[in-house]
Amino acid sequence: MHLSEAAASFALVGNPNTGKTTLFNALTGLSHRVGNYPGVTVERLEGDLKLGGRTVSLIDLPGTYSLAARSQDEAIAVDVMLGQHAGELSVKAILAILDANNIKRNLYLLSQLMELGHPLVVALNMSDVARRHGIEIDAAALSQRLGIPVIPTSSDRGEGVDEVRRALGEALENRGSHPARGAQLPQELVRQVDALQAYLLSEEATLKRKVAWAEALRILVDVEGEFEKRLLRELGVAFLGRLAAFRRDVESERPLHALEAVARYGWIDEIADACVRRPSEMARTKTDRIDGFFTHRVWGTLALLLILGGIFQAIYSWSAPLMEAIDGFFGVVAGQVSSLIPPGPLQSLIVDGVIRGAGAVVIFLPQILVLVFFIALLEDCGYMARAAFLADKLFVRLGLSGRSVIPLLSSFACAVPGIMAARAIDSRRNRLATILVAPLMSCSARLPVYVLLIGAFVPGRSLLGGWLGLQGLVLLLAHLIGITVAIPVLLIVKKTVLRGPNSPFVMELPPYRVPVLRNVLSRLIDQSRAFLVNAGTVIFSVSVVIWALSYFPHPASIHQDFEAQRAAQGSPAERLLLDQQEASAYLSQSVLGRFGQVVEPVVEPLGWDWRIGMAVVGSFAAREIVIATLGTIFSVGSDVDEGSETLLGVIKSATWPDGRKLFNLPVALSLIVFFALCCQCVATLAVMKRETASWRWPAYTFAYMTVLAYLAAMATYQLGMRLVA
Amino acid sequence: MTTLDSLGPSHRGRIKTVHGSHAISQRLMEMGLIEGSTIEVIRLAPLGDPMQVSIHDYNLSLRKSEAALVEVERCT
């Protein structure tokens, strides 16, 4: 008996911006589990709900306005409620949350939920705010009309939560004791849904499931909707003819969806007339006054620029000290461990492989925390929708919407939090398109590479009468390459892999609210954990693999050679030089080094020799590693940074075997262009995998960016050499 | 024929029909743009598009291209 109860799960369903997250947190506490539904990009949130002595699980389904799913992501909620999602527990009851402030639109979803056949409990949320606006809802009358318990709540203040819990417990005990009285759909529509369902039940053997009435309704009404598409996959395209016949037989002058919507809103009007009292003219609310400022032509634009600038500045500079501290911490640990373990493969594995790999994961946390904090804050208070509203027009021509503004802007600091921020984009295609171009925005990890090469090879000439230096101009151009390339990439992507009509930008502008600290905290915890667990594993493993490739085979003969030379040298400076040369010799003998030598002809058209090529390949674990690798291979040690004079001197004097200078301006520019466009960053790819739940999108991104980077770098070098000549 | 996108800020209209492709018109109707409902244009975004409207006591943003699908009758 206890087993079946433990397996019971409830679903929390409602429109977006109804305080759903707050209610979920109030009911389950902070101890919830986050994951992804397999195959889609939807986050799966589940928590334990204690009902008296029993514990059931509460699934927080994505906020939605209707069950008419237009994408696989939107279909998830319906599938979970209908118990058709593979691997999901079947839902035993539904807790529907309604916002008392705009009860009419909220009742639309409820009228659909009432047709699913599950026991329902309604939480009438934010009744206190509604009352302040003069909206009075008679919860008892509403409950009686609907035939289901209706509990006024104020999830922000924790009011009504215990009553909801109690009602859910009762719903679990006497299932179906409340005969729900939902909307009356037109007879001609109901008849055809019945007929379609009967037909689909007769096809049970082929479908391997029983089609519920609510799903049959969606299949019939939603032309080209997700449920129709799925059925055509299951029964073959030939079924479309039969489906069209079912649709034709609904004799009505209105399209089917209008038939449904008009009937439901008719029912809603009756309920509202009976149970809701509102002033005939709504007073100007606080939200209206705040909006007068935040969406104002001048002030609103200024405020948006300030907020975006502030977020960018925060990710860019607030996280810097934290990142340095993390870097320092891992440096100290590495130093301690080095002194404990004798030099050899084990020391190198732990210091250069494991500790550096862990550092490569944790280093992203500050930027993620800062961005997720701001996004959670802006979303919770309602500003996020305004930002999208203000910026939308800039993105329409690229096939995106204003919701892409924060993910893309954040990617200029780091694509990892930027890609995570793309969760706020409701359209799946727009979200994927945004994720695909996010790594093209020039992130802060590319900066050291630019600074090193520009400092070494771009003359420090001043332009425009001293207002702009040539070096600064090149740095600016390096940042602009990515955005410039992103535009055609977006246009192509939206015409090929992600083609389809631009999704509608019908977006609610929710009332402004004071952000709930608990929601912000739980978002921070969930997202950091998701990053560390999912993406972290990949980043760590790749770091260790790259360490191994640059360490093995590590022949003993090199060591013996250098030991002999060291014995002959006296001064510490000369011994240090020998140590550095030894490291360089090991690296060129390593698998990575040999690979570089084999593929030198591939990178030669870019003006690179095998050492540069190898350093670039080795930077896959993290872009900025390229500098350390160059330091090692050019025998100046790996603890160099972009300002290192010795590294500058060495790469300036490096030569090809025939004595030609290796680096010159075209080579430096070709490297800059390559880094601007390539996706040599396992963290980005790992986060992409985690956020899109598939390796397909990171694979696409890596492929297109590498090809673009290669071609553009080659063009830069070849053109540069002709101009120099 | 008057459509929603032709109404200026603080003008009201009563919705007559919602045209357009199935997906878009279904979405608009689900959001409450049903014949007979009163809708008010609040303002346009600073760049002239999208528009902010008020319907059934809540605020909605939609692009002018979508508002053009909503046939209205001007209210005075």
Give the distance from residue B36's alpha carbon to the nearest chain A alpha carbon, in angstroms. Answer: 10
Complex ipTM = 0.96
Q: Which two tokens mark A683?
A: 């963290």
Contact call for residues B17 and B36 (beta carbons, < 8 A): no
Q: Which residue of B has its CA nearest to A296?
A: B46
**Cβ separation of A392 and B58 shorter than 8 Å?**
no
Pinpoint the alpha helices (H) of A89-186: 103-113, 127-132, 139-146, 161-173
A243 with A225: CB under 8 angstroms?
no
Residue A268 backbone phi and psi in degrees, to 5: -60, -45
**Residues B43, A70: C-beta atoms closer than 8 Å:** no
Shortest alpha-carbon distance between residue A261 and chain B (Å): 6
Are A80 and A61 in contact by the 8 Å Cβ rule? The answer is yes
Looking at beta carbons, which residues of chain B come within 8 Å of A291?
A: 42, 52, 59
Residue A116 backbone dihedrals phi, psi, to 5 degrees: -80, -15
CB contact under 8 A, A261 and B50: no
pLDDT digits (tens, 9 = 90+) for A79-112: 999 887 766 667 889 999 999 999 999 999 999 9
Cβ-nearest to B45 among A225, A389, A510: A389
Tokens 């244009």 found at: B41
CA dihedral A338, A546, A456, A605 (to 10 degrees): 160
Q: pLDDT value at position A725?
A: 75
Number of helical H runs and strand E runs in chain B: 2, 6
Q: Residue A469 belongs to what H/E stretch? A: strand A468-469
A209/A466 Cα distance (integer angstroms): 74
Q: Which residues of A touch B31 (CB under 8 A)?
A: 65, 105, 506, 508
Quote the minimal CA–CA distance from A108 to chain B in Å: 7
CA distance B65 to chain A (A): 9
Chain B residues touching residue A388 (CB < 8 angstroms): 61
Phi-psi region of A175 (alpha: psi -120 to 50; beta: other; left: phi over 0): beta
- CB spacing of A102 vs B58 below 8 angstroms: yes
Q: Which residues contact A304 (CB under 8 A, 6 or more apart)?
A: A386, A387, A390, A391
Six-digit token string for A649: 């001197």
Q: Listing from the earlier edge strand, what are the strands of the sheet with A150-153?
A: A32-36, A43-51, A54-60, A9-14, A91-99, A120-125, A150-153
What are the 10-residue block averages of pLDDT along chain A, 725 residues in total? 56 93 88 74 84 87 92 86 75 93 95 92 92 92 93 89 92 65 91 95 89 95 93 91 93 90 96 90 84 93 92 83 90 90 86 86 88 89 93 91 91 90 88 95 87 86 77 90 94 89 87 89 86 86 88 82 78 78 84 88 92 88 81 76 78 84 91 94 93 92 96 96 86
Predicted pLDDT at A649: 82
Q: Is A463 on the interface with B (CB under 8 A)?
A: no
| CATH superfamily membership of B2-75 | Ferrous iron transport protein A (FeoA) (2.30.30.90)
- The CB-side HSE value for A170 (13 A sphere, CA atoms) comes to 13
**A390, B46: Cβ pair inside 8 Å?**
yes
Q: Which of residues 48-107 of A touch B (CB under 8 A)?
A: 65-66, 68, 70, 101-102, 104-105
Which of B5, B24, B37, B58 is the best residue to mutate to test the A interface, defined by the most A CB atoms within 10 Å of its own CB? B58
Cβ contact A402:A390 at 8 Å: yes
Task: Name the CA dihedral angle for A651, A657, A662, A666, rounded to a multiple of 10 degrees.
Answer: -170
Asked if B57 and A101 come within 8 Å (Cβ–Cβ), the reply is yes
A237 vs A239: CA distance, rounded Å: 5
- pLDDT tens readout for residues A458-476: 888 877 777 778 888 898 8
**CA A676/CA A705 separation, integer angstroms:** 10
- Give residue A2's pLDDT: 40
CA pseudo-torsion sign A32, A38, A41, A42:
negative
Q: What CA–CA distance (Å, rounded) separates A585 from A564?
A: 15
What pLDDT score does A175 carry?
A: 57
* Tens digits of residue pLDDT in A424-445: 888 889 999 999 999 999 888 8
A554 close contact with B: CB closer than 8 A: no
Q: According to the model, what pLDDT value does residue A351 have?
A: 86
Q: Which residues from A are below 8 Å from B61, CB to CB?
A: 385, 388-389, 392, 505-509
Q: Which of A260, A282, A295, A428 to mutate to test the interface with B (most CBs of B within 10 A)?
A: A295
Q: Where are the alpha helices (DSSP H) in chain B?
A: 22-30, 64-67
Name which of A102, A223, A392 is nearest B57 (Cβ-Cβ). Answer: A102
Domain boundaries, chain B: 2-75
Which of B22, B29, B49 is closest, CB to CB, to A224? B22
**DSSP bridge pairs for A51:** A54
Nearest CA-CA distance, residue B43 and chain A, Å: 8
Q: How many CB atoms lie within 10 A of CB A204?
A: 11
Six token digits for residue A248: 């034709």
Q: List the 287-306 stretch of A: residues with Cβ below 8 A of B.
A: 287, 291, 295-298, 300-301
| pLDDT of amino acid A3 | 39
